[in-house]
Amino acid sequence: MGRLGKEYKKGEIIARQGDKGSCMFVIQEGEVEAVAEAGGREFRLRTMGPNEIFGEMALFEKEIRTCTVRALGPTRILTIDKRNFLTGVHEDPSLALRIVKTMSHRIRDLTDRLAKYEEAT
Amino acid sequence: MPESQGGQDVSISAENLGFTRRQERTPPLRNTVLADGSRIAVIGAGPAGSMFSYFLLSMAETLGLDVDVDLFEPRRFCHRGPAGCNHCGGIVSELLVQRLATEGIILPHDVVQRGIESYMLHMDVGDVEIATPLHEKRIAAMYRGNGPRESEPLDTQSFDGYLLELAQEKGANVVRRLVTDVRRDNDLMTVACADQHSERYDLVVVATGVNSHLLENLEGEFESFHRPARTKTFICEFRLGHELVRETFGPSMHVFLLDIPRLEFAAMVPKGEFVTVCLLGDRIDDDLINRFFSSPEVRNRFPGGVIPQQACHCYPRINVRAARPAYGDRLVVIGDSGSTRLFKDGIGSAYRTAKAAAKTAVFHGVDAASFKQHYAPLCRKIGNDNQVGKVVFGFAGLIQKTRFARRGILRMTSNEQAQTSRPRRMSGVLWDLFSGSASYTNVFVRTLHPAYIGSLVWNLVAGNVPGSAARHGRASGEEESHVRR
Amino acid sequence: MSGAKTAADQPATALFQLHAQQVEKLPPCQAQCPNSGDIRGWLGVIAQHEKNGLTLNQAYDRAWEMIADLNPLPATVSRICPHPCEDLCTRADKDGAVSINAVERFLGDWGLSRSLPLPRIDSEKHPESIGVIGSGPASLSFAYQMARRGYSVTLYERHSVPGGMLRHAIPDYRLPREVLDAEVERLLGLDIALRQNVDLGNDVDLEELREKHTLIFLGLGAQAARHLGIPGEQGPGVITGIDYLRQRKERSESLDGKRVLVIGGGNTAMDAARSAKRDGADVTVLYRRSETEMPAIGTEVDDARAECVDFRFLVSPTRIIRDGESIQSVQVQGMRLGEPDEQGRRRPLPVPGALQELAADIVIVAVAQASDWHGLEAVDTAHRWLRTRDDGKLDKDLWAGGDDRGPSIASRAIAQGRLAAESAHAELRGERGAGAASARNPINAGAVKTDFYANQQRSQTPRRPQTEWLSNPDAEINQTINYDQAIEEAARCMSCGLCFDCQQCFMYCNASGFTRIQETSPGNYFVLALESCEGCGKCIDLCPCGYLEARD
Ligand SMILES: Cc1cc2nc3c(=O)[nH]c(=O)nc-3n(C[C@H](O)[C@H](O)[C@H](O)COP(=O)(O)OP(=O)(O)OC[C@H]3O[C@@H](n4cnc5c(N)ncnc54)[C@H](O)[C@@H]3O)c2cc1C
Ligand SMILES: Cc1cc2nc3c(=O)[nH]c(=O)nc-3n(C[C@H](O)[C@H](O)[C@H](O)COP(=O)(O)OP(=O)(O)OC[C@H]3O[C@@H](n4cnc5c(N)ncnc54)[C@H](O)[C@@H]3O)c2cc1C
Ligand code: SF4
Ligand code: SF4
Ligand code: SF4
């Protein structure tokens, strides 16, 4: 049947750390991993599945990707343009609510992990 | 032109405080808010009604507000043919696909009959494909019901049925009844049904679209209400089979710029094994339909140039002027029955008006003053943009009539499509116009850009010089690539 | 632009139009009802009463009148009718057939409790005098239809009380005599003369009556019973089912501790077995085929079982063994099922050597009814049952109906009486026959969109607690649904093939093809302006009841 978005194969990179980007992504189907590169090493930040979003920072601030996102298997991804998003938020600020929720979730997650990390060291 | 009686083209008059009842005027309510146990009737589970219920219940949930939503809908979206269908071209616009995804609603693949990534523009002077730079499928072709009459029982799902399920999952109670009357009854509202059932509610949301008689009944009941003006359109479906549809139409929506009076917009939308033909304009009649199907640009879309027997057709009405006013005490009119974008992205407008009305009801109140302050501005904005839209369609009409203009457009678009590095002024304008991705105002402003005008003038000249290389979109080798494979 | 040339001479698309029209169809309930009752009609009057400006009481009155128009004994017949109307009810596959019978019974009681008069037909008095033999349902129905058409009618009944088998055979626990009495009395109140204790053939002969009356109706029923024709059958202790039930109506006799064998598998066998149980006997029903072939109504069999009646299947009596006068036992032959016979029931075949003796004191033979033609010497009785035209005409001045044309059920007897009256009246008045009910086509299976209708469970006929069935032997077991249940049940009717004002066509037709009628009634809500139809066919697809269809 019909499918929306763009298809990626396993291992294909959807967004690359350091690249410029002006859109956010919504996973339609499949799983992806977000990895950060630092000091020549890769850290897996998280994995994400259908209906989850990533790349949302590009909508709000600088348009440089902070991590690399890679398909873990066959994946379909829909992009949300910055222009479209901001016109929408202008008319209906609550449109941003879900993204804000996701971001706050992620901050909490990172804080937790940081705390655990500090505890361990 | 419109069927219903008129008035000025202003959606909401400022002094008007909404629906008043025919006989007695009840004093206006002040700051009437929803509370735990409030009862809301939503009439019609088209996109507007279902999305209203979905958003209202989501917001209420976040606030810890416990309200009941009865969603009245006699139609079964699992039926094939007109009985289960809310008749439209079946395009979920690029804009709406993205909005919904942002809201956390992704369309399941059995709802999406085909992902669309480009527009194919057909004119007597040639065809040209307008593609997105990303080559990403961000437009969905779907069925409002369960497909045309006598279609094979495939594992498809209705778009409206899917939204209805979402509303149901949020807790809306679907009432399979046809509403015949809405009355003001002391302080509350009464909703009466064809089977003699009636109940009272704190808020009534009218989302019946314009293909229903209910709005006429409302006009009888509420003296200050004027239902939307409508005009007749045409839709039909051809069953060509999966193979042929994929080969002939690809992942593109096909639009036609033909010199046929009163035809404002004509499109073919490929779906699973069907292709939907959709004609919008002013009073589409059988004569116009025949002219459309007689034109070679249309015939050539079909194998052997022969128009096959259609499987299903209807003449749905479309909203060409908003209802006035679209609100009252404990009453709000959303979607097509209220206001919508002229000829474009009607479902997107249903989403916008539904959400705005839901927000008003949850956060501000269900009295006329609250709707006036928080809901009416959106209707006004849509109405104003439609004024610009009429101008834009006027221009398009001029182009339809002028062969040399069509040549210029073909040339400018073809060149832009061939060279991805150049700014795509014409492609962008056409894309946004066809897809409804930007407001008419935005499209119009861009056509006033000096660079656009300059480029258009150049192409008008070049496109009409005999022997010019790029006279036909199809003619030159470099453009072959973007002409449909 | 390949193909443009060839295409240019083709005509443009041919719109495939579906124009609507309103056509009433025959619903399956009515098609199945032996008396062609307008079930959908009277259920609709109740269900749609508010739309048509009736109070619920008025609607019940009106619905009762519609039934009584075709059947003067609604409370009686509804109590005993096996209701074939429900068998093919379109609703059956959804959530159970409409409980037509329960509503009819409610209405029957409603009519009695409100003393509603039988609906009259405005008619002048006619000079002809009509004679009717018998006073069973067939005769009563004929008499009613003639009396209300202005004829003077006289009933001749062999017994002292009217009612036929309803009076003499059907036990009180199924049909209380007060109900029958009240309905017969109301009927006789239409100036119908009843001459009791007059036996055609003994007290009066047919020629006499033919001279006296312009026209005679024969509703003799099937008063005799068939015998087994086996050794030992003659003598005390053997009785036919009908005789046993008839005697019991007059004076019931204790059968305490007696072993009773009932031979047969029909309703008479069930009535006899359950009655014997009430008289204190140990009862076993013997049937020569298996349970699935039993002609008795399923619930009757279940109820008999609930009352501890035993069943022995696939046995056939071959001899009644006596010790002097009194019965010792019955010898039975074991059977097996062979190929199906003409009626599709599997034929019983003896199993060689499988002989058995069953101890017994009394044997009730209820294998089949038979005719008794005494007094009918002038009529062709060469066949097992009277052979008439479809409208019941037998001879120039003779009509017949009911069990004498072959045993059946009360509802069919009523129908035959009515149709005979319609035909006789037409002939007397020199009019053409009313003909068949109408030429309406039966509704196509699938034309009713059952999923449109909300689910609503079928209401069940309430019943007396089972513990009281035998302890209170004459008390009626089935009860009547109440005032509210009756409308709830009526509202379950999907109105197959007739508009019930769901308003979908009106609401959704874009061409405004439908206009509401001022004075509405079931089936009469909208006019369709054929010329404004755009041919989209939407309303045809929408109409839940199949009333709208495509025009050619
Ligand atoms: C020819 C044509 C093509 C179009 N193509 C597109 C397109 O491709 N993309 C797009 O986005 N938009 C398109 N539109 C516009 C789109 O169809 C509408 O904007 C959209 O359907 C409006 O949604 P709604 O929920 O307001 O009303 P509707 O979709 O009309 O839904 C109204 C609902 O209310 C119910 N209802 C009506 N009366 C009653 C009653 N009395 N009681 C109970 N329920 C009732 C109906 O059964 C129905 O389900 C098109 C329109 C036309 C005419
Ligand atoms: C035990 C039993 C149970 C039944 N149960 C049911 C049931 O549950 N449901 C159902 O629908 N049907 C049932 N029936 C069948 C139903 O009773 C008959 O179909 C119906 O009574 C036939 O009506 P009728 O008018 O043709 O004959 P009858 O009811 O038999 O009436 C004939 C009348 O004519 C009189 N008569 C006959 N000969 C003469 C004469 N020579 N002179 C004067 N009068 C005469 C008789 O005395 C009798 O009163 C049952 C029948 C029996 C025997
Ligand atoms: S639903 Fe009503 S009309 Fe249809 S068969 Fe049953 S009782 Fe008759
Ligand atoms: S809905 Fe209206 S236009 Fe369509 S077939 Fe029915 S009557 Fe004709
Ligand atoms: S759609 Fe409804 S109102 Fe119309 S004819 Fe059918 S039953 Fe009657």
Query: What digits encode the pLDDT tens for the residues C110-144?
Result: 999 999 999 988 778 999 999 999 999 999 999 99
Q: Which amino acid is at C276?
A: A
Determine if ligand 3 sits within 6 Å of the CB of residue C362: no
Q: Which of B115, B381, B437 sits opposite A4 (nearest CB)?
A: B115
User: 3-state class of B232 per DSSP?
Assistant: strand
Q: Could you give the CA distance from residue B470 to residue B362 in angstroms, rounded to a whole number?
A: 57
Q: Which of B195, B300, B314 sits opposite C536 (nearest CB)?
A: B314
Q: What is the mean pLDDT of residues C160-184?
A: 96
Cross-strand pairs, B269? B276
Distance C59 CA to ligand 4 centre (A): 32
Q: Which residues of C touch B82 (CB under 8 A)?
A: 536-538, 541-542
Distance B86 CA to ligand 1 centre (A): 5
pLDDT given at position B153? 65
Distance B284 CA to ligand 5 centre (A): 27
Distance C95 CA to ligand 3 centre (A): 13
Give the residue on C whose Cα is nearest the Cα of B316. C510
Which of C533, C542, C543, C549 maximizes ligand 4 atoms within 8 Å of its Cβ, making it the mutation to test the pocket? C533
- Please check whether residue B56 touches A, CB under 8 A: no
Put simply, the answer to whether C13 touches B83 (Cβ < 8 Å) is: no
Q: Name the strand (E) or helix (H) holding C516.
A: strand C514-521
Against chain B, the chains showing at least 3 CB pairs within 8 Å are A, C
The residue extents of the domains of chain B are 39-87+159-228+321-384, 234-315, 390-484
Q: Does residue C304 carry a pLDDT above 80?
A: yes
Q: Does residue C341 carry a pLDDT above 90?
A: no
The pair phi, psi for residue C45, each rounded to 5°, is -60, -40
Chains B+A touching (3+ CB pairs under 8 Å) = yes
**pLDDT 10s digits, B332-365:** 999 999 999 999 899 999 999 999 999 999 999 9
**pLDDT 10s digits, B159-195:** 999 999 999 999 999 999 999 999 998 889 999 999 8
Residue among B379, B75, B356 nearest B212 (CA): B75
Q: What is the mean pLDDT of residues C497-516?
A: 95
Put simply, the answer to whether A91 touches B134 (Cβ < 8 Å) is: no
pLDDT given at position B469? 46
Q: What percent of chain C has pLDDT over 70?
A: 96
pLDDT given at position B29? 60
CATH code for the domain defined by B39-87+159-228+321-384: 3.50.50.60
Structure tokens at B431: 């894309």
Q: Could you give the CA distance from residue A53 to residue A25 in angstroms, rounded to a whole number?
A: 5
Determine if ligand 4 sits within 6 Å of the CB of residue C550: no
Please report where in the chains the tokens 């809500």 appear, as a residue.
Answer: C525
Q: Give the B:C interface size as CB pairs under 8 Å.
A: 105
Q: Could you give the CA distance from residue B309 to residue B294 in angstroms, rounded to a whole number?
A: 14
Lowest-pLDDT range of B26-30, B425-429, C192-196? B26-30
Best of B146, B313, B319, B472 to substitute, by most chain C Cβ atoms within 10 angstroms, is: B313
Average pLDDT value over all residues in chain C: 92
CATH code for the domain defined by C11-27+497-552: 3.30.70.3270
Lowest-pLDDT range of B25-39, B217-231, B413-427, C345-359? B25-39
Which has the higher per-residue pLDDT, C207 or C435? C207
Distance B315 CA to ligand 4 centre (A): 10
Q: Could you give the CA distance from residue B462 to residue B427 in angstroms, rounded to a whole number?
A: 18
Put simply, the answer to whether B304 touches C8 (Cβ < 8 Å) is: no
Q: Which residues of C touch B307 (CB under 8 A)?
A: 10, 12-13
Residue C274 CB contacts under 8 Å (≥ 6 apart), including other chains: C171, C173, C283, C300, C303, C304, C307, C309
Q: What is the 3-state secondary structure (H, E, C) of B12-56?
A: CCCCCCCECECCCCCCCCCCCCCCCCCEEEEECCCHHHHHHHHHH
Against chain A, the chains showing at least 3 CB pairs within 8 Å are B
Q: Does domain C129-223+370-428 have CATH number 3.40.50.10800?
A: no
Q: How confident is the model at residue B44 (pLDDT cuts 50, 70, 90)?
A: very high
Shortest Cα–Cα distance, B112 to chain A (Å): 5
pLDDT given at position C7? 40
Q: What is the mean pLDDT of residues C506-524?
A: 94
Q: Which residues of C touch B196 (CB under 8 A)?
A: 48, 50-51
CB B194 within 8 A of CB C502: yes
**pLDDT 10s digits, A65-78:** 889 999 999 999 99
The residue extents of the domains of chain A are 6-120
Q: Does residue C10 carry a pLDDT above 70?
A: no
pLDDT given at position B17? 53
Shortest Cα–Cα distance, C12 to chain B (Å): 5
Q: Which residues of C touch B178 (CB under 8 A)?
A: 502-504, 507
Q: Could you give the CA distance from residue B345 to residue B350 in angstroms, rounded to a whole number?
A: 9
Residue among B196, B149, B161, B203 nearest B177 (CA): B196
Put simply, the answer to whether B138 touches A79 (Cβ < 8 Å) is: yes
**pLDDT 10s digits, B265-315:** 899 999 988 999 999 988 898 889 999 999 999 999 998 888 998 888 899
Q: Could you give the CA distance from residue B254 to residue C333 in angstroms, rounded to a whole number?
A: 82
**Minimum CA distance residue for ligand 5 atom 4:** C505
CA B234 to ligand 1: nearest atom: 1
Distance C548 CA to ligand 4 centre (A): 10
Best of A51, A76, A78, A97 to substitute, by most chain B Cβ atoms within 10 angstroms, is: A78
Q: How confident is the model at residue B27 (pLDDT cuts 50, 70, 90)?
A: low
Which residues line ligand 5 at a C-beta cut-off of 6 Å?
C 499-505, 525-526, 539, 542-545, 547-548
Q: Does residue B466 carry a pLDDT above 70?
A: no
Put simply, the answer to whether A3 touches B109 (Cβ < 8 Å) is: yes
Residue among C497, C353, C21, C407 nearest C221 (CA): C407
Which residues line ligand 2 at a C-beta cut-off of 6 Å?
C 80-82, 133-139, 156-159, 164-166, 169-170, 199-201, 219-221, 223, 242, 245, 267-268, 271, 375, 402-403, 408-411, 413
Q: Which CATH superfamily is domain C226-368 in?
A: FAD/NAD(P)-binding domain (3.50.50.60)
**pLDDT 10s digits, C258-300:** 999 999 999 999 999 999 999 999 999 999 999 999 999 889 9
Shortest Cα–Cα distance, C530 to chain B (Å): 17
Helix-helix angle C177-188:C100-113, to 10 degrees: 60
Q: Which residues of B touch C510 (CB under 8 A)?
A: 211, 232, 314-317
pLDDT given at position B474? 41
Q: Could you count the other beta carbons within 10 Å of the beta carbon of residue B481?
A: 10
**pLDDT 10s digits, A4-16:** 999 999 999 999 9
Put simply, the answer to whether A4 touches B137 (Cβ < 8 Å) is: yes
Triad A110, A114, A116: Cα angle to 5° = 120
Helix-helix angle C100-113:C56-70, to 10 degrees: 100
Task: Check whether the bond before B27 is cis (ω within 30° of 0).
Answer: no
Q: Could you give the CA distance from residue C366 to residue C293 in angstroms, rounded to a whole number?
A: 16
Residues of chain C with CATH 3.50.50.60: 129-223+370-428, 226-368
Residues of chain C with CATH 3.30.70.3270: 11-27+497-552
Q: In this predicted complex, what is the ipTM?
A: 0.92
Structure tokens at B71: 């969603």
Q: Could you give the CA distance from residue A43 to residue A34 in angstroms, rounded to a whole number?
A: 8
CA C504 to ligand 5: nearest atom: 1
Read off the DSSP letter of residue B363: I
Q: What is the mean pLDDT of residues C318-327?
A: 93
Which has the higher per-residue pLDDT, B393 or C320? C320
Which has the higher per-residue pLDDT, B47 or B32? B47
Put simply, the answer to whether B196 touches C50 (Cβ < 8 Å) is: yes
pLDDT given at position B2? 45
pLDDT given at position C435? 53
Q: How confident is the model at residue B9 (pLDDT cuts 50, 70, 90)?
A: very low
Which has the higher per-residue pLDDT, C172 or C342? C172
Distance of CA C300 to the CA centre of its chain: 16
Put simply, the answer to whether B176 touches C536 (Cβ < 8 Å) is: no
pLDDT given at position C496? 97
Q: Which residues of A touch B112 (CB under 8 A)?
A: 1-4
pLDDT given at position C12? 62
Q: Name the strand (E) or helix (H) holding C74.
A: helix C74-80
Query: DSSP labels for C270-295?
Result: HHHHHHHHHTT-EEEEEESS-GGG--
Distance of CA C268 to the CA centre of its chain: 16
- Please check whether residue B448 touches A, CB under 8 A: no
Structure tokens at A72: 């873990």
Best of B196, B217, B235, B302 to substitute, by most chain C Cβ atoms within 10 angstroms, is: B196
**pLDDT 10s digits, C437-489:** 556 899 988 899 998 898 999 998 899 999 999 999 999 999 999 999 999 99
**pLDDT 10s digits, C244-255:** 999 998 888 899
Query: DSSP labels for B247-274?
Result: HHHTTEEEEE----TTEEEEEEEE-SSE
Q: Which of B427-431, C3-7, C14-18 has the highest mean pLDDT?
A: B427-431
CATH code for the domain defined by A6-120: 2.60.120.10
pLDDT given at position B13? 42
CA B353 to ligand 1: nearest atom: 26
**pLDDT 10s digits, C405-438:** 999 999 999 999 999 999 999 999 987 755 555 5
Put simply, the answer to whether B136 touches A26 (Cβ < 8 Å) is: no
Put simply, the answer to whether B437 touches A92 (Cβ < 8 Å) is: no
Q: Which of C16, C501, C510 sits opposite B316 (nearest CB)?
A: C510
pLDDT given at position B477? 31
**pLDDT 10s digits, B369-404:** 999 999 999 999 999 999 999 888 888 888 888 888
Shortest Cα–Cα distance, B180 to chain C (Å): 8
Cross-strand pairs, C156? C133, C195
Q: Could you give the CA distance from residue C66 to residue C62 in angstroms, rounded to a whole number?
A: 6
Which of C25, C98, C458 maximizes ligand 3 atoms within 8 Å of its Cβ, making it the mutation to test the pocket? C98
Q: Does residue B482 carry a pLDDT above 50?
A: no
Q: Give the A:B interface size as CB pairs under 8 Å.
A: 86
pLDDT given at position B463? 73
pLDDT given at position B484? 36
Report the predicted TM-score, pTM, of the whole model to 2 decimal places. Answer: 0.87
